[in-house]
């Protein structure tokens, strides 16, 4: 395999990207990235010709004329000197081995979540990236959502007093067929790992590292899935010496059981002096109700999409609605990818998401999975 030294990765005007695992989400990521200047889709690797051709088509539909090389396996893609940045987009059980291979080949790594099935192998990947001087990040899209960033600012500024409670109700569609890899815990790690890491990471970011204290799991009512389709985890975040919150009680409910068109996600955050409700798994609406000063409320009210502040005595209500959920999603993926390229060009740059964040989210996910007595696969590696 050809290895790229760190010096070669700085200040490039064009990046050759390669994608391993050209399924549903890889196509969405390519659609998200194709407007970025300075990117060339150099190579795709997938076992199926249909998947390879569909991914190449998505890129071409953006007006790109250069056609990518198509490979049947990851090793062939990693031997292609035109590839400098690799996106690992396979199911989770393959993330660890592929991430190690990408870094060992000296390529920068855009790793899909959850980044593997257990924290220790991902920590090993993070150490290798550090020692090889390659950039690596995880695709935790929520950290790049404007409403989440606003909330993070409010937490850091103490705008509504300390954060006390987070409650997630994530009602997702239950239409994946029983043979899908999500329902095979040996491939997905189960719902708390495959999907839960997004939200564990988010609350880790807002409230400090969490520890799982209770969990439960139930099958889909129809009993058609191999892994539980309804899971609930309870965690306590922060509260350690020197941390900015006193301790936050968080509950995480994920149900992949809703009929088509009925999915909804609500995240409520309770602060000492207010409530914030976020709507949508890619948050697209924020509602705040609290006792804030005019200056504090202005931080929210000055956001694009904010309606005029509603005052009721000392009580403030703010509502912010962002248009176009899909574009919000694509923009978050672009922002995560740009952060990776910045790190690749400048080793001192710190992206908003590191592999260490992935390790912490996976640690919480695995601990909750164990408490729910969901059988966990043996860690890879």
DSSP one-letter string for 181-236:
GGG-HHHH--HHHHTHHHHHHHHHHHH--EEEEEEEEE--TT---SS-SEEEEEEE
Residue 331's φ and ψ, nearest 5 degrees, are: -65, -35
Residue 25 interacts with ligand NAP (CB under 6 A)?
Answer: yes
For the CB of residue 334, give the shortest distance to ligand NAP in the complex, in Å. Answer: 13
For the CB of residue 218, give the shortest distance to ligand NAP in the complex, in Å. Answer: 22
For the CB of residue 252, give the shortest distance to ligand NAP in the complex, in Å. Answer: 16
Residue 357 interacts with ligand NAP (CB under 6 A)?
Answer: no
Cα(first)–Cα(last) distance of the chain, in Å? 21
What Rg, from alpha-carbon coordinates, does the chain have? 21
Contacts of residue 96, Cβ cutoff 8 Å, sequence gap at least 6: 115, 116, 117, 121, 122, 124, 125, 380, 381
Residue 26 interacts with ligand NAP (CB under 6 A)?
Answer: yes
* Helix locations, 210-324, DSSP H: 294-301
For the CB of residue 176, give the shortest distance to ligand NAP in the complex, in Å. Answer: 9
Which residues from 29-48 bind ligand NAP, rule CB under 6 A?
46-48
Answer for which of 58, 141, 255, 380 binds ligand NAP (CB under 6 A) is: 141
Residue 201 interacts with ligand NAP (CB under 6 A)?
Answer: no
- Report the C-alpha gap between 63 and 298 in whole angstroms: 42
Residue 192 interacts with ligand NAP (CB under 6 A)?
Answer: no
**Residue nearest ligand NAP, Cβ-based:** 23
Which residues from 86-105 bind ligand NAP, rule CB under 6 A?
89-92, 94
List the structure tokens of 121.
Answer: 């192998």
Answer for which of 139, 171, 284, 296 binds ligand NAP (CB under 6 A) is: 139
Closest CB to ligand NAP among residues 4, 71 = 71
Closest CB to ligand NAP among residues 301, 322 = 322
Closest CA to 357 of 140, 189, 183: 140
Q: Give the binding site for ligand NAP (CB under 6 A).
A: 21-26, 46-48, 51, 89-92, 94, 112-113, 139, 141, 181, 194
């Amino acid at each position: 395999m050809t290895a790229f030294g760190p010096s070669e990765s700085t200040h490039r005007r064009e990046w050759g990207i390669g994608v391993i695992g050209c399924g549903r989400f890889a196509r969405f990521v390519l659609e998200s990235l194709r407007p970025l200047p300075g990117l060339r889709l150099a190579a795709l690797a997938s076992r199926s010709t249909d998947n390879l051709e569909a991914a190449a088509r998505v890129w071409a539909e953006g007006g790109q004329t250069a056609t990518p090389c198509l490979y049947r396996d990851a090793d062939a893609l990693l031997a292609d000197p035109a590839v400098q940045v690799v996106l690992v987009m396979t199911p989770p059980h393959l993330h660890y081995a592929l991430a190690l291979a990408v870094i060992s080949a000296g390529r920068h790594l855009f790793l899909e979540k959850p980044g593997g099935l257990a924290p220790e192998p991902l920590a090993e990947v993070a150490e290798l990236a550090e020692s090889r001087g390659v950039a690596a990040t995880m695709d935790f899209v929520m950290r790049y959502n404007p409403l989440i960033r606003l909330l993070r600012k409010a937490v850091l500024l103490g705008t509504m007093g300390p954060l006390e409670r987070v409650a997630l109700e994530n009602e997702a569609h239950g239409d994946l067929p029983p043979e899908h890899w999500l329902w095979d815990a040996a491939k997905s790690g189960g719902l708390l790992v495959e999907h839960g890491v997004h939200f564990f990471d988010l609350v880790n970011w807002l409230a400090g590292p969490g520890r799982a204290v209770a969990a439960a799991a139930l099958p889909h009512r129809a009993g058609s899935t191999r892994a539980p389709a309804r899971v609930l985890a309870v965690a306590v975040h922060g509260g350690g010496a020197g941390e900015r919150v006193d301790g936050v009680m968080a509950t995480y409910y994920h149900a992949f059981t809703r009929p088509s068109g009925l999915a909804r996600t609500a995240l409520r955050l309770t602060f000492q002096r207010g409530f914030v409700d976020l709507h949508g798994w890619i948050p697209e609406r924020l509602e705040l109700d609290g006792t804030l000063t005019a200056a504090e409320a202005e931080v929210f009210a000055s956001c694009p999409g904010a309606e005029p502040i509603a005052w009721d005595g000392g009580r403030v209500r703010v509502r912010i609605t962002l248009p176009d959920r899909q574009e919000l999603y694509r923009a978050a993926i672009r922002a995560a990818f740009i952060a990776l390229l910045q790190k690749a060009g400048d080793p001192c740059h710190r992206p908003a998401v590191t592999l260490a964040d992935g390790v912490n989210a996976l640690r919480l996910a695995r601990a909750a999975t164990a408490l729910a007595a969901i059988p966990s696969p043996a860690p890879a590696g």
